[in-house]
């Protein structure tokens, strides 16, 4: 196991790794553990009581965080005509069709998210092998294949986060920056967990929110009591 640096070990001194903290305590400890010279991201890992091998237990969706992510998301929209203009007017960084397909084939990947109108998906399909493995392919289930491109561009720019449970039954997401402070981070977490609770598969039995951990990019993980977060979500 790699040896942890002194800053990490110092941050860990304040955390009881055998304890589950309340959401408020957990957020404050996670932020306190941020020691890097850059503005660290705040990350969450949620282990769910689902078996992702079964299609009816796949948890995947998106949520617009009330305080955004703190990250400048570069959006590429595959559209033409009025929809191309609508995308650019809404704040998309790039919009167009075949010209961007050719640029991507040539190795250009200066964007973080993509949206496409349904009539452009045949064109986008030509670069599916490039976009797919990088999780950059427009997806109807996530609302990024749509004619309502203006609204979706604004949602993504304001802090829309996509998430998907992995093979181990864990959802990972970035929910803000350490500079946000505890209140804004807490509000983002509650919105995120609320969405996940809404998506509980009917075939999932037993405990759904099994464990929740918070951390900053460089800091140690902090265990948070799922029951406390559930209660906070109900009161929000």
**Which tens digit of pLDDT belongs to each residue from 96-113?**
999 999 999 999 999 999
What is the reported pLDDT for 170?
Answer: 97
Residues forming beta bridges with residue 78, ordered by sequence position: 96, 116
Q: 90 in helix, strand or coil?
A: coil
- The mean per-residue pLDDT over the stretch 79-95 comes to 97
How would you list the strands of the sheet with 113-116, edge to edge? 94-96, 75-78, 113-116
Query: 173, 192 in Cβ contact below 8 A?
Result: yes
What is the reported pLDDT for 2?
Answer: 53
- The mean per-residue pLDDT over the stretch 117-125 comes to 97
What is the reported pLDDT for 11?
Answer: 76
Q: Which CATH number fits domain 20-69+160-235: 2.60.40.1120, 3.30.190.20, 3.30.2310.20, 3.40.640.10?
A: 3.30.190.20
Return the domain boundaries, the chain.
20-69+160-235, 75-158
Give the span between the Cα atoms of 186 and 174, in whole angstroms: 13
- In which element (H, E) is residue 172 found? strand 170-177
- The mean per-residue pLDDT over the stretch 161-183 comes to 95
Give the span between the Cα atoms of 207 and 209, in whole angstroms: 6
What is the reported pLDDT for 3?
Answer: 60
Give the span between the Cα atoms of 60 and 173, in whole angstroms: 12
18 backbone dihedrals φ, ψ, rounded to 5°? -95, -5
- In which element (H, E) is residue 160 found? strand 160-164
How close are the terminal C-alpha atoms of the chain, in Å? 41
Q: Is the pLDDT of residue 8 over 90?
A: no
Q: Which has the closest alpha carbon to 22: 224, 203, 232, 199?
A: 224
Percentage of the chain lying above the pLDDT 70 cut: 99
Burial classification of residue 119, based on how many CB atoms lie within 10 Å of its CB (0-12 exposed, 13-18 middle, 19 or more buried): middle
Q: For domain 75-158, give the fold.
A: Rossmann fold (3.40.50)
What is the reported pLDDT for 1?
Answer: 42
Burial classification of residue 81, based on how many CB atoms lie within 10 Å of its CB (0-12 exposed, 13-18 middle, 19 or more buried): exposed
């Amino acid at each position: 196991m790699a040896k942890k640096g002194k800053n990490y070990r110092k941050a860990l001194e304040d955390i009881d790794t055998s304890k589950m903290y309340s959401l408020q305590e957990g957020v404050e400890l996670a932020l306190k553990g941020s020691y890097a010279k850059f503005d660290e991201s705040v990350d969450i890992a949620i282990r769910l009581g689902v078996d992702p091998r079964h299609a009816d237990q796949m948890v995947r969706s998106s949520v617009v965080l009330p305080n955004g992510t703190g990250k400048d998301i570069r959006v590429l929209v595959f559209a033409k005509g009025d929809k191309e203009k609508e995308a650019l007017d809404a704040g998309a960084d790039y919009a167009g069709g075949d010209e961007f397909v050719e640029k991507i084939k040539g190795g250009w990947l200066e964007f973080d998210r993509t949206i496409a109108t349904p009539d452009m998906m045949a064109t986008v399909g030509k670069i599916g092998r490039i976009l797919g493995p990088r999780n950059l392919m427009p997806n109807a289930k996530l609302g990024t294949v749509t004619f309502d491109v203006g609204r979706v561009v604004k949602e993504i720019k304001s802090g829309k986060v996509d998430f998907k449970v992995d093979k181990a039954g864990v959802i990972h997401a970035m929910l803000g920056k350490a500079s946000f402070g505890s209140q804004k981070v807490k509000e983002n977490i509650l919105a995120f967990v609320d969405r996940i609770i809404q998506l509980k598969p009917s075939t999932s039995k037993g405990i759904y929110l099994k464990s929740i951990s918070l951390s900053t990019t460089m800091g140690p993980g902090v265990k948070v009591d799922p029951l406390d977060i559930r209660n906070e979500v109900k009161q929000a």
